[in-house]
Every structure is written in structure tokens, then in C-alpha cells.
Amino acid sequence: MALLGRLIVATMPLAPKPIVRMVASRYVAGPKLEDAISTMIKLSSEGACFTVDVLGEEITSMAEANFFIDEYSQLIDSITKNNINAHISIKPTAFGLLIDQESAFENILNITKKASDNDIFVRLDMEDSRVTDSTIELMTRIRSEGLGNIGVVLQGRLFRTISDIENICEKLGQQSDFRICKGIYLEPKEIAHTAYGDIVDSTNNAIGHMLRNGAYTAIASHDYPVIENSLSLLKKYGLSPDSPPNSFPGKGPGYEFQFLLGVRGDLRRRLSSEGHLTRIYVPYGLQWYEYGIRRLKENPEVATHVLKALLMPWTNRR
Ligand code: FAD
């Protein structure tokens, strides 16, 4: 399977762009803000809520950050105007984290303030291990400015994740708020699990630590062993759809399930019909092609998932 993934990635640049666009259209709302809004309006009928991501990352000059500042600002206005139950997801390197940490902090602080004024939560996506420390630091600094509407993503595959959970929970207590996923970046074996079974176990372990600490836990996985284990953990820690809701608007009762747009909609709808809060990650933007190719190069396994979803749609319902 890994070989097939690498083959698809190697031949992808040869495919005509309209074909790549057709494949991508399942996973990306479209190039424009209006595409994200209409996708969310359409999917609202499935009982889901959303987190929206403007595609793009790792800018090469601070001037490029202005595009993301403007776009996220318009996105917040548009979510509010259309009264959609949506939060936002941000990639810190798109705001200059790898160029000028202080300016990136100011940029993301300003977006978080505007989001707070509109009751919108900001999730800092976690990128590769070069920025794990600085992304966590961004979140804790913004929290220390008195803003409670920001949380970070941790990646189950990294060895450090359990100690990151403990450190953040020690600082923020039950106000800690995580998205937990396996991690899309293939990190070296010195710092991360590399085998499927170990990644599932360590992700499940991380979810257990978050729930035990009373942290808000957004479980971002389409994998049955992670979902089923999470459902048992929720029972163990006394959490259910009937638990008291989190005080922040649009959040679940201490936990939620998150899915990528276009992936395993049948599982998402099942969880939603059982009463669990489900959130769809909706990416949009002009950089859909570059973003898709980069993601596939980082983790060729994604290419096999995409191909399987297209050839055998019954295994991966929208
Ligand atoms: P897998 O075992 O990879 O997938 C289980 C099944 O889901 C597959 O067999 C396939 O049927 C389906 N599937 C999974 N991915 C795809 C796909 N792309 N296309 C088609 N089918 C697919 N990673 C980060 O490093 N940082 C982040 O900030 C981050 N944010 C995320 C936010 C959300 C809401 C989600 C759902 C994932 C996020 N990820 C992030 C990606 C995550 O780390 C995994 O790489 C990804 O979710 C695949 O892992 P999985 O747990 O779904 O299990």
C-alpha cells in the first residue's frame, strides 16, 4: 500500500490540473470564502458544526501574512453574518511563525481577539515537529492575555505528547482545550512512533490522559479503533451527549468528534445520530493544489486513502 501511495504521488504532477481539481473537490470546499460558506450551509442539515481553514502555510516573507490576516478577518465576519456554527483553524506558519515569532504572535493574537468578540473558537493546527514548542507557546501566551477561545492540536504519534498534555493541563487546568489526532507529518523514529498499531495505541493513550485531566477533548480521527476506544473512554469518565455543555458557544459537553470534509461521512452521521457533537474541518482557498500535493508528499498513505475512496466509495462515504 505504501508503495502504491508513493507511485501515485510521483505521477500526480503529470495529471491534468482539472482532474486533480475534480479529486480535490471532495476534500476542499473550493477556492473562495463563499465556497466554504455554501458548503457549510449545505452540511448543516446533517447536524454537524465546523472549523474552517484557509489553505496555505509556511510563508517566505512577513508581507505574505497580510493575506491570511485579511482572509481570516473576512471569514469571521462571514461566519457571524451567516449565523453558522463554525470555529476557525489556523496554521501558525502562515502567520510567520518560522520567520518572526513575535510578529506571528501579534498576528494570531489580533485574529483571536476578533474571533473572541464573535464567540468563535480558534484552533492552532499542529504542523511538523520544528514548530511543536513554538505553537504550544503561542497558545499559552495568548491564553495569558486573558483570551479563553484558543486551543492547540497535539499529535498522538509524537513521543512527547503525554508530557505536553500534562504540562498544559498543569498550567491551564480544566480550561485546557485540545484537538488530538494521529499527526499527518511522518516524523523520524527518534521522536515518533512509526508503526500503525503503535500510533493508534499512543493516540488512544493521549485521549485517555486528556479526558482524565478534565480537558476539553476534540477527537480528530476516522479510524474505528480510535473512535471505539474513545467511546469507551467517554463512558469511563462519565461523559455523554447529556453531560453539561462547555460554556463556550457551539462546543460539546467536554468532548467532540472531528472529521475532515469528504471523509467517512457515514461514521460522522452515525455519531451525530447518537447525539455526539461532530465537527467538520472545512479547508478552502486558492492554494488547494499546492496544499494537496505537499500533504501527499509528506504522507503518501493519504494518496491510497483518496484513491480507495474514489474507486470504492462504499468504504468511505462522503
Ligand atoms: P487512518 O488510519 O489514517 O484513516 C482511517 C480511515 O479514514 C482510512 O482507512 C480512510 O478510509 C479514511 N481516511 C483517512 N484520511 C483520509 C483522507 N485524507 N482521504 C480519504 N480517506 C481518508 N494532522 C496534523 O498533523 N495536524 C493537525 O492539526 C491535524 N488536524 C486534523 C483535523 C481533523 C479534523 C482531522 C480529522 C485530522 C487532522 N489531522 C491533523 C490529520 C490526522 O493527524 C491524520 O493524519 C488523519 O486524520 C488520518 O488519520 P486517521 O486517524 O483518520 O486514521
Q: Using one digit for the tens of pLDDT, what is the confidence trace for 14-32?
A: 666 776 777 778 889 999 9
307 found inside a domain: no
19 found inside a domain: no
Q: Rounded CA gap, 23 and 298, in Å? A: 18
Q: Rounded CA gap, 188 and 182, in Å? A: 14
Picking from 93-97, 148-152, 294-298, which range would have the lowest pLDDT averaged per residue? 294-298
Q: Judge if the beta carbon of residue 182 lies within 6 A of ligand 1.
A: yes
Q: Judge if the beta carbon of residue 67 lies within 6 A of ligand 1.
A: no
Q: Judge if the beta carbon of residue 208 lies within 6 A of ligand 1.
A: no
179 included as an active-site residue: yes
Q: Judge if the beta carbon of residue 309 lies within 6 A of ligand 1.
A: yes
Say if residue 1's pLDDT is above 60.
no
**In which residue are the cell numbers 518572526 written?**
100
Q: Rounded CA gap, 318 and 227, in Å? A: 18
119 found inside a domain: yes
* Number of the ligand 1 atom closest to the C-alpha atom of 89: 28
How many folded domains does the chain comprise?
1
**Going by C-beta distance under 8 Å and a sequence separation of 6 or more, which residues neighbour residue 95?**
59, 65, 68, 69, 103, 104, 107, 108, 111
Choosing from 157, 179, 268, 279, the catalytic residue is 179
Residue with CA closest to ligand 1 atom 9: 305
Half-sphere exposure (Cβ direction) of 173: Cα atoms closer than 13 Å: 1
308 found inside a domain: no
Where is pLDDT greater, at 60 or 21? 60
For 34, other C-beta atoms within 10 Å of its C-beta total 12
305 found inside a domain: no
Q: Judge if the beta carbon of residue 260 lies within 6 A of ligand 1.
A: yes
| Alpha helices by DSSP H, the chain | 2-11, 17-24, 33-43, 65-81, 101-117, 132-144, 161-172, 196-212, 224-236, 265-273, 288-298, 301-311
Q: Judge if the beta carbon of residue 185 lies within 6 A of ligand 1.
A: yes
295 found inside a domain: no
Say if residue 9's pLDDT is above 70.
no
Q: How confident is the model at residue 286 (pLDDT cuts 50, 70, 90)?
A: confident
Q: Rounded CA gap, 229 and 35, in Å? A: 35
Residue with CA closest to ligand 1 atom 26: 126
260 found inside a domain: yes
User: How do residues 47-56 score in pLDDT, each as one tens digit?
Assistant: 999 999 999 9
Phi, psi of 260 (to 5 degrees): -80, 145
Q: Separation of 141 CA from ligand 1 center, angstroms?
A: 28
125 included as an active-site residue: yes
204 found inside a domain: yes
Q: Ligand 1 pocket: which of 181, 261, 318 to mutate (most atoms <8 Å of CB)? A: 181
Q: How far is CA 195 from the centre of its chain?
A: 22
Q: Which three cell numbers stand for residue 253?
A: 459537553
Residue numbers of the domain that contains 234: 29-284
* Number of the ligand 1 atom closest to the C-alpha atom of 125: 28
Choosing from 125, 157, 164, 268, the catalytic residue is 125
Bridge partners (DSSP) listed for residue 86: 50
pLDDT attached to residue 303: 74
Q: Judge if the beta carbon of residue 155 lies within 6 A of ligand 1.
A: yes
For residue 262, is it left (φ>0), alpha (ψ between -120 and 50) or beta?
left
| Bridging pattern class, strands 49-54 and 122-124 | unpaired
**Going by C-beta distance under 8 Å and a sequence separation of 6 or more, which residues neighbour residue 83?**
none
Say if residue 4's pLDDT is above 80.
no
Q: Rounded CA gap, 171 and 167, in Å? A: 6
Residue 39 belongs to domain with CATH number: 3.20.20.220
Q: Which three cell numbers stand for residue 317?
A: 462515504
Q: Rounded CA gap, 273 and 252, in Å? A: 14
User: How do residues 139-177 score in pLDDT, each as one tens digit?
Assistant: 999 999 999 999 999 999 999 999 999 999 999 999 999
Positive/negative CA dihedral, 289, 292, 296, 298: positive
pLDDT attached to residue 88: 98
For 146, other C-beta atoms within 10 Å of its C-beta total 8
Q: Which three cell numbers stand for residue 13?
A: 504532477
